[in-house]
Structure 1
Amino acid sequence: MRKWLILLALFATGFSASADDAKAPRLTVIELFTSQGCSSCPPADAALRSLRGRPGILTLSWAVDYWDRLGWEDTFAHPHNSMRQAAYNKRLGRGGVFTPQMILDGRVQCVGSKPEKVRASIDKARAIERPVITPALAETADGKVELTLPAANVGDMVSVRVVWFLSDATVQIGDGENQGRSLHYTNVVRTSDILMDWKGDAKTVMLDPADGLKAGADHVAILLQDDYGHGPIVGAASMAIGQASTTAASAR
């Protein structure tokens, strides 16, 4: 427990907001593959929480199911999340999967519980030259979500992925390596799917937030991934939906 608290303190100090964050030229997507049954994951979950909300960063937590055999079935896990992680690792030349793992912009990977590795990986991902496509999300008068894709040179094809996620959740762990602990999770993916293969033409797509609300989400994100659903990320956007959207609007 003492080691975990030291790691948490390192993350809290190492990822404080800085003036450079406000100058981030594009959105960096940080995906954490984690599990409630993994004793090494809580520091990475805390790191993701500290990164959320920083300018130029979108965080997502994907719960995998392959540690369920340790005695606790992750309440957020889905086989598709494990498949996404395995596909990333295969493309990045890794032989297997592990938790906690962070994938940044679909291009860089690191151990999510090591502050120095995460900081270096953020810098590395931001330094990679790539096309920047900026999708836009907006709530319509009838409560739908409008996705606008600008005309862009995307090469052969870009996959447009919709991700419905829950901003905050606390889980009491009843068994396994984290038995007895109350763990907090942020930006938890509840459901995700490929909307379409996009050729770069200007396009508007309507999304129904009921799909996300039904899955227990309060936010939606769009990931544009080069060539296929786990390719390098070339654009992203996110917004609150439903009650979360109303609360955010009233707070302004």
Structure 2
Amino acid sequence: MAPHLWSCFSSKGSNRRDGIAERRVSTADVASESSRGGGGQGAVVVEMFSSQGCATSPEAELVLSRLGRGDFELEVPVVVLIFHVDYWDYVGWKDPFGSSQWTVRQKAYVEALGLDTIFTPQVVVQGKAHCIGNDENALIETITNAPRFPAPTLQATFTKPAPDSLQVSLTGALRTRVDGSGANVMVALYESGLVTDVPRGENKGRVVSNDYVVRKLEKLCTVKDISHKKTVSGTVNFPLWEGFNSSKCGLAVFVQDTSHQILGSQSFQLPEDI
């Protein structure tokens, strides 16, 4: 292990069409999820990079679970996304939710933020500020001080063209102007209520709980030089994992520019009957 590179920190509507299940969710259905707060400002995206192979990550994940449930009673609404990285897998336990894709995402933030260390549990807020995940005071302060943007007004249609596939079509206004540098509209499919017995590694003998775990992340579209009123649309396809349960899953949509700042976000709960 190279300590100067990797660190594990501690701190104090449904129908069927041609055999395809389909469910459309309107903007009104998601208002309580993504648009709470005054002035029409949307939620703050809180990403955490974590691992079941890091001894201090389980504590931080409990903090993020509480945050997502609203336990801190912040006036700022949040969208919580937890990415399990894979660089701790060699310690003795391979994280079942770990992915090199999420490690690459974290490394991009490390570079953009001018850091010289990649570590878990790291929280990145709106793509522009970071803190240690289990430092509640720093977490709340970082969220409170984060820039906010209007929530998109997207409508979503959920379709299962096959038992192991979920298709999501989105259309609506981003409500944030995007300049000539461009931005990507990203769609994350996450899962909560995960419980794992860890028999080896830094968390040997522990039962760890994980919520808001990102299972899939896809790009809906790239936009450039558009006004806040411009309508965008697109479709993403998610291959599903064994044991997929829509009642435990949610969807987050966010706009991220080339500097990694997040310019707006919206969240959806998946229909339970999809």
- TM-score range with shorter-chain normalisation? 0.7 to 0.9
> Which stretch shows the higher mean deviation, 52-61 or 104-113?
52-61
CA apart distance, 1:70: 0.9
Match of 1:233 in 2: 262
More helix by percentage: 1
CA apart distance, 1:96: 2.1
RMSD: 2.7
Do the aligned partners of 1:222 and 1:237 also contact (CA within 8 Å) in 2?
A: yes
State, as a whole percentage, how many aligned pairs show the same letter: 28
Give deviations 1:200-237, integer Å, cap 9, x for gaps. Answer: 341222344xx253474732221210126xx1001111
Match of 2:194 in 1: 169
Q: Aligned ranges for residues 1-252 of structure 1 at < 5 Å?
A: 23=37, 25-54=41-70, 56-125=77-146, 128=147, 131-139=149-157, 145-150=168-173, 152-156=176-180, 157-199=182-224, 200=226, 201-208=230-237, 211=238, 213-214=240-241, 216=244, 218-227=249-258, 231-241=260-270, 245-246=271-272
Q: Quote the Cα distance in structure 1 between the aligned partners of 2:156 and 2:217.
A: 19
Q: Quote the Cα distance in structure 2 between the aligned partners of 1:139 and 1:213.
A: 17
Structure 2's unaligned 5+ residue stretches are 1-10, 13-34, 71-75, 162-166
Structure 1's unaligned 5+ residue stretches are 1-5, 8-20
Q: Quote the Cα distance in structure 1 between the aligned partners of 2:86 and 2:66.
A: 24
CA apart distance, 1:26: 2.0
Q: Quote the Cα distance in structure 1 between the aligned partners of 2:69 and 2:232.
A: 28
Q: Quote the Cα distance in structure 2 between the aligned partners of 1:187 and 1:104.
A: 15
CA apart distance, 1:116: 1.2
CA apart distance, 1:27: 0.5
- How many pairs are equivalent? 220
Q: Which has the higher contact order (CA 8 A, sep 6+)?
A: 2
More strand by percentage: 2
Q: Quote the Cα distance in structure 2 between the aligned partners of 1:224 and 1:150.
A: 11
> Which stretch shows the higher mean deviation, 66-75 or 21-30?
21-30
Q: Quote the Cα distance in structure 1 between the aligned partners of 2:215 and 2:55.
A: 22
User: What's the TM-score once normalised by structure 2's chain length?
Assistant: 0.72
User: What's the TM-score once normalised by structure 1's chain length?
Assistant: 0.78
Give deviations 1:57-90, integer Å, cap 9, x for gaps. Answer: 1101100011111111111000010110010110
Amino acid at match of 1:23: G
Give deviations 1:34-67, integer Å, cap 9, x for gaps. Answer: 0001111111100110011436111011000111
> Which stretch shows the higher mean deviation, 50-59 or 95-104?
50-59
149 and 94 in structure 1: CA distance in 2 versus 1, 3 angstrom threshold: farther
Match of 1:3 in 2: none
> Which stretch shows the higher mean deviation, 154-163 or 135-144?
135-144
Do the aligned partners of 2:255 and 2:265 also contact (CA within 8 Å) in 1?
A: yes
Amino acid at match of 2:63: A
Give deviations 1:85-107, integer Å, cap 9, x for gaps. Answer: 01011001101210000001101
Match of 2:31 in 1: none
76 and 141 in structure 1: CA distance in 2 versus 1, 3 angstrom threshold: closer
Q: Secondary structure at the match of 2:127?
A: coil
CA apart distance, 1:191: 1.4
Q: Quote the Cα distance in structure 2 between the aligned partners of 1:165 and 1:202.
A: 25
Q: Quote the Cα distance in structure 2 between the aligned partners of 1:212 and 1:165.
A: 13
